[in-house]
Amino acid sequence: MNAPVESRIDAHRWPDVARVPRSPLRAAAARALLRRLVHRLPLRVETPSGSFGPIGPPVLRLHRPEAFANRVGAGGLIGFGESYQAGDWDSGDLPGLLTVLAANVDSLVPPLLQTLRRPFVGSLPGRHDNTPANARRNIAEHYDRSDAMFALFLDETMTYSSALFNGAPARWGDLAEAQRRKIDRLLDRTGVGPDSRVLEIGTGWGEAAVRAAERGAHVHTVTLSSNQLEHARALAAERGVAGRVEAELRDYRALDDSRHYDAVISVEMIEAVGERYWPDYFQVLRRSLAPGGKVGLQAISMRHDRMLAARRTYTWIHKYVFPGGIIPSIPAMERCARGAGLRLIDRLDFGSDYAQTLRLWRERFDSRSGRLTDLGFDEVFRRTWDFYLAYSQAGFASGYLDVHQLVLEAGRERTLRRTGPDTAKVRRAH
């Protein structure tokens, strides 16, 4: 279990983590809600003065119960995350604890209090709207903080999206191969081969673009991350395919309309687009296709009703990890695709693989987090990313989130073929 954070929190860097709000009435409500949850869920709470709830894991250990109650009462789920960042609470099984909460998210708050959700949680700030001007900053806030930090927990491919395993329990030594398997499946389904013209929207650190080029394809890849652009170019040169990889710092909306591609791929990019711009994103996918071409997306999703409830909500993830992000639903993506003249012809669901991927990332991050200080990151940052990785793992482990590979082609009639990676049977996360 992690020790509590000391009181020396950098208030300039982490103002809302350093400050404990005072709201006695809301704190009382938070305490009552916690006791209600303990009576309904397999969850135990331990405090300096005693314990309550069923014996056994997962356990929520409150080091500073008053600070916890005030933060949660004043800030809801944002306050819950900030309380962890500050060290007010810990758990010996953080992903397990968060999985219990995620699996019961629809009933955590009583119906009467749910009616107050909108004014209580607040709305997305205007600066998070992914206009062309804002999108670059939003991407930089997450991806351009430090390549070395990401390298602490990513495998040798530096692939920051779900891997595709073969069904066996995932181990660290399996991760790089599983990432390549994921990429290869997307390239296979979109027909990428020698002399294919490929557009990639969202470069990442370059593994997919380079892997396509190693098949003999000519790849045009665009990103808004300066760090990732430099890494992708260096990777292409190192692997001997620089002449077949054109990497640019460019917004997808600024792509040349006159260029067309046999395949357009985009891996976990749509989550950073923003709901307002989903139609634009799918229009770009469609107009970039050459006749007979295919689009290959890898996308995280949530259930449609949950997406509708959360789409304008300001969350802890927005505040501390992904400004401007929103996870779509499958119906929302299908609607935008149809509106752009695309039809979905192939779909693979593999959310359980993402839970495994995130488990490996978090274990690696925790085992190497002692190096963060040398990279200029403090203890609150460590706890922020520990919570983020566990929070994400819980989302997929509980079925609250799913991830998919979707293949689309031009046409308005929907003919869907669902397949698994090696068979004709689809694997579903829930």
Best CA proximity match to 266, nearest among 245, 244, 288: 288
Helix (H) or strand (E) holding 76: helix 65-86
pLDDT, one tens digit per residue, over 268-314 is 999 999 999 999 999 999 999 999 999 999 999 999 999 998 887 88
Mark whether 269 and 363 lie in a shared domain.
yes
pLDDT tens digits, 125-136: 777 788 888 988
Q: Residues 300, 401: contact at Cβ < 8 Å?
A: yes
Q: Look at residue 429 and tell me if it is in a domain.
A: no
Sequence-distant (6+) residues with CB within 8 A of 188 are: none
Same domain, yes or no: 177 and 37: no
CA dihedral 84, 89, 94, 97 (to 10 degrees): -110
Look up the domain containing 185 and give its range. 127-418
Structure confidence at residue 429 (pLDDT): 32
Number of independent structural domains in the chain: 2
Dihedral over alpha carbons 295, 140, 160, 131 (to 10 degrees): -30
Q: Tokens for 357?
A: 């991927």
Amino acid letter for position 425: K
Q: What is the pTM of this model?
A: 0.91
Q: In what order do the strands lie in the sheet with 417-418?
A: 245-249, 218-223, 197-201, 261-267, 289-302, 401-410, 342-349, 417-418
Provide the percentage of residues in the chain whose pLDDT is more than 70: 90
Beta strands in 224-351 (DSSP E): 245-249, 261-267, 289-302, 342-349
User: How do 342-349 and 401-410 pair as beta strands?
Assistant: antiparallel
Domain boundary among 79, 101, 122: 122
For the record, the structure tokens of 292 come out as 């007979």
**In angstroms, what CA-CA distances link 97 with 40, 80, 246, 253?**
14, 13, 44, 40
Query: Do the domain assignments include residue 57?
Result: yes
Q: Is residue 403 part of a domain?
A: yes
Query: Does residue 103 share a domain with residue 179?
Result: no
**Is residue 82 located within the same domain as residue 23?**
yes
Query: Which tens digits make up the pLDDT trace of 355-370?
Result: 999 999 999 999 999 9
The candidate with the shortest Cα–Cα distance to 396, out of 358, 368, 426, is: 358
Task: For residues 384 and 371, state if they share a domain.
Answer: yes
Pick the residue with more confidence: 379 or 138?
379
The reported pLDDT for the residue numbered 416 is: 53
291 with 142, same domain: the answer is yes
